[in-house]
Every structure is written in structure tokens, then in C-alpha cells.
Amino acid sequence: MTYKDKLDRILLKVQKPSRYIGGELNSVEKDPEKVTMRFAFCFPDTYDIGMSHLGMKILYSLINDVPGYWCERVYMPLPDMEEQMRRHDILLYGLESLQPIKDADFIGFTLQYELSFSNILAMLDLAGLPVYAKDRPALTPIVCAGGPCVCNAEPIADFVDLCILGEGEEVNLELMRLLERCKAEGTTKHEFLVRAARIEGIYVPSLYEVEYNDDCTIKSITPTEGAPEKVRKRIIKDFDSVFYPDTFVVPFSEIVHDRAVVEVLRGCIRGCRFCQAGYLYRPFREKTVETIEKETISLCESTGYDEVSLTSLSTSDHSEIERMLGTLATYSDAARVNLSLPSLRIDRFSKELVDRIKSVRKSGLTFAPEAGTQRLRDVINKNITEENVMNSCRIAFEGGYSSVKLYFMLGLPDETMEDIDGIADLCQKIIDLFYSIENRPKGGIKISVSLSTFIPKPFTPFQFEPQPTEDVIRERQKHLMEVVNKKRVTVSRSHFDVTHLEAALARGDRRLSAVIYSAWKKGCKLDGWTEYYKYDKWMEAFKECGIDPAFYVNRTRSYDEIMPWEQMDVLVSKEFLIRENKKAHEAVPTPNCRESCAGCGVNRCVGRPCFEYDK
């Protein structure tokens, strides 16, 4: 019986079956006889989430454009589907071929968040493969991982064969060509890995020996067999002409981001000290308005989507944002397509921009001051003043908006109760501003405060910082609830349980592989889903492995401590991070990259300054 027949027997017994059958518009089918390299691209979360991910769409099209190479999409089934699959001996399969992925040449995971780690094990197991790399002696499938979390891949080091650091548009194909050669030569898996480690951006964890000090900190990380001392992040130098798909697979069912997406720039000039993406995706590169327009039209026309989103870490930092919006609006008006603009910077919020967004869709406005006082905003280098916030709100209110969403972080380094009071004060000032405006919208103002918990991440100036303990976090949350204007402000808080685990995994070392294995054995998976998350099982797993999460979460790390990710080079120097950390504790902000160069080190690789400065 084929997998299609087997699936036909079970799909009507699961929720939203169309996400498990493939065959969507623009999905790529190839003749298996003519395929030399099969890449099973796994997003370690459900279809609805994974199908929304832009990076996967880019690499999917890129690989499939190569004759003989076939990239398939694979997602984590929900428990109802997993149960049916296990009952009917259906191994995890690719949506394009409906064939088990254990027979693919590569099984590649994209790691977007730490809470997806346990899903790697769950998916390998569902694929019928051993979860530990050492138990998979054959040359194929090679299990690899990419995405931001591989900047510290140590917690999953025992499960994957190799990691791809940085942008995959070039290196993925180099890797596939190497495996194609090794298969032809009949090399061992080990030989392939040794050769792969010579490709820039490839990290093979098994080729590095890690020694620990008595206090469990790392003593040394030693490369073997010619693997590089430092694995250098790959970047695309000519971003304007980088490969971009002219079409997306259009899912049958509604997914989280169900629209066309155009990437307008990569990197970020801002340097917020808590933000890992802001450092990992450096240098700042943007596409020309013409390229963005071309990609927008091509995507909308080939998918039929009536909404297109301009995405990046900070879209309004595009040097030609106003011209871009003007050009795109001409197209979107004529084609009756909606234009949506996430991640707008508060201080770039001009009247024109408000009008532009308003002409598309009048939803609420979202600002991210992140901290309640100017002092703390200077600590985290969120270069926004209260005046910026107020000006933006005034424009918004006068433009007819009456609801505002504000993002804040709690537990930031050097945070005091005054900073928590500052959040409530800022909300009150916005409320007062609203009622002071004569032509304000009818009805009252609504402010939603989203209060997340600070999680120190590798390759940020805060990688040395502790996350406050549970007591401190709960006390500060409680304090905010007491001082905030409850009539006008609703506060949503992140769950301590979840941020605690994420904090441990983010800066963990190789010893955590045992914890992840143990937690998975206890049934942990889909940890990003509140209904499936089992914090107590995770804590049990830590305990059984004799590891205290506090070692990773609540400890201040000295500048000279060897970090578990010291062998990775994301092109931002540790000296720079230390410099920024010191400035943070002095509450001194750093100007954004466009104003002046802070010397992070990334232009070593660009070979020239990131921006043309006047002087």
C-alpha cells in the first residue's frame, strides 16, 4: 500500500487533514527517478506555524530550482495525527513525495526558537531514526540544523550531524554538492563530515572536544581533524540580487501568516542590547525599491494572495521607505491587494506613514518601548524617548486610532521598581494625552500592555547577564498590576515556566543534550504550545541529569568565561559585546549604525564600512 493510500485511511480521523497531504498550489513535484539529492526540510513545529516561515520558503524554492535536487516540506504532526501514524505504521514523510524522510539525503531542521528542540527528537523518532547522531552510522541521511538557534547549537550537539551558521542561500547548495560527491565516492559519514567542516559556515559538533572546569564552566573547546577554530557565519554580500522565490506554496488551510511576504532588508541598525536578531543578522543590507516592487508583483500574481506584507527586523529603517510605500501603493491599489507593514519603528512614525497604513487597514497600533524609564531604555539601548512615544501616539490618535499595544520587557539588567512604576506612568501619560486631544476618536482609549520576560541570549551584550529569579520576576509583575490604571490598561504576562526553560536552553552547553533526551523520553514535545508544555517533566529531567538550570539562567558570567558558543563567529566580536555591556551598566546608549559605526566587527567581512558616513 502506498503512503497516499495509507493516509487516505486515516486523514478523516484527524483535525484539519489538508495540512498532512501536500499537493498545494505551487508545491514542487519531481520525478524520483531523476532526483539525485533529496532534502527533507523540517520545521520543528506544526504546519500552520512552519508554513508561515519565510526562510523555509526561500530555501525550498532555491533548492528546487536545481535540476535533480528535491526539497520537501516536513512539519511536526499534532498528537491526533501522530497517534494515527503510529497505529498504521506511517513514518514521518515529506509532503511532496509522500515518502518516508529516513530515505532522504538530508534531513534539515530550521531552529527558530529554543522551545522547538524537543521536536527535533520527536520528529527523528517518528521518521524511524535513532535520535543520537552517533547511532546513525550510515552516510545518509545527514541530519543538519540551521536558523538563529544554531549560533549556540550545543544543547542539541549530540543529535545533529552538522549545523549551518548564517544565511543558507549559498552554503546549502555547497553542502548538497559535497554530499553528492561523497555518495559517488562511497565515503564514510565521518569523511563527509570532516570535509563539510572545511566549508565556511559549517559546524560539526562531533569534531570539537569540550573540556570543563570543576565548577562546570568550560575549560576549553578544541577542534579536531582540521575543523576550524572558529566557524564563520555565512552572509549574502549582494543582498539586492540574492535569490528570492517568485512564488510561494499556498496552503489549503489558513495558516498563521497567510499572505505574500517580501523581505525588504536584512540586519538591523539599532543595536538593542537584548535583541539577538539585531546582532545575528548583521550587516544591514537592503533591497532596492525596484527589486521589492518586482518581488511583490511576482508573488501576488503567482499566489493569488490579496495581502502582502513587507517584512524585516525594522522595515521603516529602509533608506527609501516613503518612496517604497508610494511605489507599492500604486500597484496594490490597482491590483486590489492589501499592503501590511509589521515592525514599524516608533521614531520613524510620520504623518504620511500613518495615512498610508490607515488607507490599508485600520487595526491597532503597536509600539515597543521595552522599558518604562529613560534610564532603563538607555541601559538596553532602545533609543526611544518618551517624547517619541508621545508624538507617535498623538499622530495616531489624531488619525483616528484609539487602541494602542505596548510591548515591555521585565527582568532587564539593572531594573528597579522605579522602572516598573515607569511602565504604569507611561501608560497614564498616553491616556492623559488621548483625553487632551479635542478631535479624538469617540469612546475611550484602550491600552494593552504585553509584558514579556527578559531572556539573556548568546551574541548579545547581555549574554553575560543573569535572568532574575522567579521570586523577583513574580514580585515585579505583581507590582505592575498594583500600580497600573486597570480601567484603561490590560496587561498580559508571559509564563515564567516557559521563559525559564527558554533561558536555560538558549545559553546551555552540551550537557543539556542529556536533559533534552530525558525530557523527550518523558513525553515533552511541542513545548511552544501551552496545552502540551510540561514544565514539571522538564524540571524532573534536569534533576535526573544532575543539572541545575540556575547554572545557565541565573548566573552572572564573567567577561573572560569561555562561553559554550565560543567556537562560533557571527562576525560580531566579543570585545564589542563586552564594550556594549559596560556601557549598558553605565546607562550610556550607542548611536544606531547609520549615525556612526560602533565597531562591532562585521565590516571586517563586508570589506568596507556598512554605511557611507559624512566624515
List the one residue from 185, 215, 238, 254 that touches other proteins (CB under 8 A). Answer: 254
Minimum CB–partner distance for residue 17 and other proteins (Å): 4
Minimum CB–partner distance for residue 44 and other proteins (Å): 23
Minimum CB–partner distance for residue 306 and other proteins (Å): 6
| 323, amino acid identity | R
Helix or strand run (H / E) with residue 330: helix 321-335
> Does residue 252 interact with other proteins by CB under 8 A?
yes
Minimum CB–partner distance for residue 51 and other proteins (Å): 13
Grid cell, residue 217, equals: 564552566
Neighbour tally for 32: CB within 10 Å: 10
> Does residue 25 interact with other proteins by CB under 8 A?
yes
> Does residue 23 interact with other proteins by CB under 8 A?
yes
List the one residue from 68, 79, 304, 342 that touches other proteins (CB under 8 A). Answer: 304
> Does residue 400 interact with other proteins by CB under 8 A?
no
- Draw the binding track, 51-70, toward other proteins (x: CB under 8 A; -: no contact): --------------------
Minimum CB–partner distance for residue 252 and other proteins (Å): 5
Minimum CB–partner distance for residue 248 and other proteins (Å): 11
Minimum CB–partner distance for residue 4 and other proteins (Å): 8
Q: Which is nearer to other proteins, 306 or 387 (CB)?
A: 306
Q: Which is nearer to other proteins, 302 or 391 (CB)?
A: 302
> Does residue 410 interact with other proteins by CB under 8 A?
no
Q: Which is nearer to other proteins, 362 or 495 (CB)?
A: 362
Cα dihedral value 218, 224, 226, 227, nearest 10: -40
DSSP 172: H
Minimum CB–partner distance for residue 361 and other proteins (Å): 7
Q: Which is nearer to other proteins, 340 or 499 (CB)?
A: 340
| Centroid of chain to Cα 527 | 16
> Does residue 28 interact with other proteins by CB under 8 A?
no
Select from 595, 592, 612 the least CA-distant residue to 269.
592
Strand partners, 41: 73, 108
> Does residue 329 interact with other proteins by CB under 8 A?
no
> Does residue 138 interact with other proteins by CB under 8 A?
no
CB–CB of 576/601 below 8 Å? yes
> Does residue 31 interact with other proteins by CB under 8 A?
no
Grid cell, residue 174, equals: 555547497
CB–CB of 553/580 below 8 Å? no
Site for other proteins in 339-398 (CB under 8 A): 361-362
Q: List CB contacts of 516: < 8 A, sequence separation 6 or more.
A: 117, 118, 121, 155, 156, 159, 505, 541
Q: Which is nearer to other proteins, 304 or 342 (CB)?
A: 304
Q: Which is nearer to other proteins, 22 or 201 (CB)?
A: 22
List the one residue from 200, 301, 386, 544 that touches other proteins (CB under 8 A). Answer: 301
Q: Which is nearer to other proteins, 21 or 598 (CB)?
A: 21
> Does residue 472 interact with other proteins by CB under 8 A?
no
| 518, amino acid identity | S
Cα dihedral value 534, 93, 27, 58, nearest 10: 60
Helix or strand run (H / E) with residue 447: strand 446-453
Can you give the three-state secondary structure of 80-125, one letter per residue? Answer: HHHHHHHHCCCCCECCCCCCEHHHCCEEEEECCCHHHHHHHHHHHH
Q: Which is nearer to other proteins, 84 or 112 (CB)?
A: 84
List the one residue from 9, 86, 323, 582 that touches other proteins (CB under 8 A). Answer: 9
CA distance 139 to 556: 42
Cα dihedral value 550, 554, 560, 564, nearest 10: 50
CA distance 398 to 383: 24
Helix or strand run (H / E) with residue 324: helix 321-335
> Does residue 495 interact with other proteins by CB under 8 A?
no
Stretch that binds other proteins, among 13-21, 125-133, 142-150, 545-553 (CB under 8 A): 13-21
Stretch that binds other proteins, among 119-127, 138-146, 190-198, 300-308 (CB under 8 A): 300-308
> Does residue 543 interact with other proteins by CB under 8 A?
no
CA distance 147 to 166: 7
> Does residue 10 interact with other proteins by CB under 8 A?
yes
Neighbour tally for 193: CB within 10 Å: 23
> Does residue 303 interact with other proteins by CB under 8 A?
yes
> Does residue 336 interact with other proteins by CB under 8 A?
yes
Minimum CB–partner distance for residue 399 and other proteins (Å): 15
> Does residue 338 interact with other proteins by CB under 8 A?
yes
Stretch that binds other proteins, among 5-13, 116-124, 385-393, 483-491 (CB under 8 A): 5-13
| 95, amino acid identity | L
Task: Tell me the DSSP string of 293-306.
Answer: HHHHHHHHHHH--S
Helix, strand or coil, per DSSP, at residue 236? coil
Q: Which is nearer to other proteins, 86 or 486 (CB)?
A: 86
> Does residue 250 interact with other proteins by CB under 8 A?
yes
Minimum CB–partner distance for residue 58 and other proteins (Å): 21
List the one residue from 12, 531, 586, 615 that touches other proteins (CB under 8 A). Answer: 12
> Does residue 514 interact with other proteins by CB under 8 A?
no
Q: Which is nearer to other proteins, 240 or 333 (CB)?
A: 333
Stretch that binds other proteins, among 8-16, 67-75, 524-532, 574-582 (CB under 8 A): 8-16
- Name all contacts of 174-183 with Cβ < 8 Å and 24+ positions apart: 174/199, 175/106, 175/144, 175/199, 175/202, 176/37, 176/39, 176/63, 176/66, 176/69, 176/105, 176/106, 179/37, 179/105, 179/106, 179/139, 179/140, 179/142, 180/36, 180/37, 182/139, 183/105, 183/139, 183/140
List the one residue from 3, 17, 386, 483 that touches other proteins (CB under 8 A). Answer: 17
CA distance 431 to 424: 11
> Does residue 298 interact with other proteins by CB under 8 A?
no
Q: What totals of helices (H) and strands (E) does the chain contain, helices first?
A: 21, 19
Grid cell, residue 192, equals: 563527509
Minimum CB–partner distance for residue 340 and other proteins (Å): 12
Q: Which is nearer to other proteins, 83 or 414 (CB)?
A: 83
| 84, amino acid identity | Q
Kindly list the residues in this chain that would bind other proteins in the complex (CB under 8 A): 8-12, 16-18, 20-25, 250, 252-254, 300-306, 336, 338, 361-362
